[in-house]
Structure formats: C-alpha cells, structure tokens
Amino acid sequence: MCAVWVYSLKYFIGKIKDGIFEGVISPVVPTGERVLERGNKVCPGHDREPLLPWRLPQKEEIMANHTMTKAELVGILLAGGINVSLYGLGKAKTLDHLLREVESGEAELRKDENGRLTRVTRVAKGEVLYRTPAGGLRLCEDRQVFTDCRERRRWADLAPNAVSEKLAVGEDAAGGIRRALLEELGIDPMLAAIEPKGMRVETVVSPSYPGLLTVYELYDHRVELTAEAYRPEGYVEVQEDKSTYFLWEEV
C-alpha cells in the first residue's frame, strides 16, 4: 500500500512539472514556438500560441477566439490591468456575462492604438414611440432587477433609446432592431414603423464592466408602434439572470 501511495505521489508531481495536470499550470512557451491548446494540454506543431495569463494576446488572436474559457478571460483582463473583483457587484455584470458576449461574437476584446484593452461592440438602438389621442408617449427602461436582488436604473444613460440589442456576427442594424423589439418587448416587428437615424461612435468606461474601455458603434432608429403593439401597462423582458421593466412617459 505504501509503495502504491509513493508511486501515485511521484506521478502527481510529474504531471505538475509537465504543466498538464488538470490544466492548473501552463508551461512557458519559448518565443516563436507554434503551439495549440488542446483541452488543457499544450501540443507542439500547431497553429497558434495559447492564451497565457501573463501574455496579452494579439488582436488577431482575440478576434478569432470564440471558444474562450473563463480562466483565459480572467487572464486577459488581469494582463490588461482590470480589477476583476469588481465584476458582479453593484451595477457591474459578472465575468460570465462578458464571456458569453465574447463567445457569441457580440463583443470583441482588442488592444487600441495605445495598447489599452478595449471591448468593442455594435449595437442597434431604438427610440420607441406611440401616439394616443391625448398626445405622444415614449417608452423608457424603468429598471433591471437581477436574480440576486440587485437593482439597476440606467434610463439617464439610455435616453431616448429604450431598446437596444448587440449585433451578432454577420447581423445588420435593421435585423438587430427587429430582434430587439421581438426579444425585449415581445412585439412583432411588422407592427412597427422603423426608420434608421444614422450611426455614431461612443467610447466610454462602461459601468457594466468596470475598468474596461468600451467602444460602441451605435445604430439609432425611430420606432413607432401601431395600436396592436401598444400596451399601456408597459412591457417586461424576463431573462435567465434578470428582468427588465419598460414603462411609458409623456413627450
């Protein structure tokens, strides 16, 4: 029994030295050596370098990586000087939120011209309006209530656009705003008159991802609802992690 235990311990230590035991340790890759991560093991002779925690990947690597692990994402953020302990607190979204954005292609992580880690995303936005006999109404996002009981109000930052949707890979702005109406408000896009209003670019540090510079390519739209789509009580979008409440205001 003792001999078996000693053998197992030697095997365990050997795996740690090889850097492949459960993916806890990754070996340092010499400059210029081409490798590929297969699972948690590094295999020589393949196309790209692994995303190691202490090396910020090049733009081409990040843009091409839609199968990023959470550990890789944390490594990239730390290498970019981002305090990940703030994520999931207060108004901030979680690391899982950001990982889903990157994996789906809704957001890209790049280095800007100054070498700063940047989140880049394309967003279709819509100002949603309805005319009643008494006057005009505009839809606004009243609040978001997360499943962990956190609440976020951001209408001052969103106005006048109530709905917005990050564009998927290959999706145009027209398709994005139609999807926003359907997914966020449950409205058939055929029951709305949609008018594009142009594109603008904003660069901010998003409260959703503290410390991470975000570049938004924003595609604005004016959306007028028909009577069939109008609900005087407002709308609620229910998602896995939160519910978003939309209410009308006079304009």
Q: What is the CATH number of the domain that holds 178?
A: 3.90.79.10
pLDDT confidence of residue 50: 34
Radius of gyration of the CA atoms of the chain, in A? 23
Please report where in the chains the tokens 């590094």 appear, as a residue. Answer: 42
Q: Of the candidates 73, 89, 109, which is a domain's last residue?
A: 109
CB atoms within 10 A of CB 78: 14
Q: Which residue has the higher pLDDT, 170 or 9?
A: 170
Q: Of the candidates 109, 139, 165, which is a domain's last residue?
A: 109
CA 97 to chain centre: 6
8 shares a domain with 105: yes
Q: Is residue 60 part of a domain?
A: yes
Q: Is residue 114 part of a domain?
A: no
Identify the domain containing residue 144 by its residue range. 120-250
Q: Is residue 6 part of a domain?
A: yes
pLDDT classification of 117: cutoffs 50, 70, 90: very high
Compute the mean pLDDT over every residue in the chain, rounded to the nearest whole number: 77
184 shares a domain with 146: yes
50 shares a domain with 164: no
Q: Is residue 9 part of a domain?
A: yes
Classify the C-alpha dihedral 101-158-212-202 as positive or negative: positive
Distance, CA of 123 to CA of 172 (rounded, Å): 10
Q: Is residue 166 part of a domain?
A: yes
Instruction: Check: CB of residue 69 under 8 Å from CB of residue 96.
Output: no
Average the pLDDT over each of 64-68, 99-103, 242-246 and give the range with the smallest value.
64-68
137 shares a domain with 50: no
- Asked whether residue 232 carries a pLDDT value surpassing 50, the answer given is yes
125 shares a domain with 230: yes
Percentage with pLDDT > 90 across the chain: 53
126 shares a domain with 78: no
- Asked whether residue 18 carries a pLDDT value surpassing 90, the answer given is no
201 shares a domain with 129: yes
pLDDT confidence of residue 203: 92
Q: Of the candidates 109, 140, 170, which is a domain's last residue?
A: 109
Beta bridge partners of 163: 126
- Asked whether residue 115 carries a pLDDT value surpassing 70, the answer given is yes
Q: Is residue 200 part of a domain?
A: yes
133 shares a domain with 105: no
124 shares a domain with 75: no
Q: Is residue 115 part of a domain?
A: no
- Asked whether residue 227 carries a pLDDT value surpassing 60, the answer given is yes
Q: Which residue has the higher pLDDT, 61 or 126?
A: 126
What is the average per-residue pLDDT within 86-97? 92
105 shares a domain with 126: no
Range list of H helices, the chain: 2-18, 59-64, 70-79, 95-104, 155-158, 173-180
What is the average per-residue pLDDT within 37-50? 34
21 shares a domain with 127: no
- Domains in the chain, number: 2
The verdict on pTM exceeding 0.75 is no
34 shares a domain with 147: no
Q: Is residue 220 part of a domain?
A: yes
- Tens-place pLDDT, residues 130-178: 999 999 999 999 999 999 888 888 766 667 888 999 998 889 999 999 9
pLDDT confidence of residue 66: 56
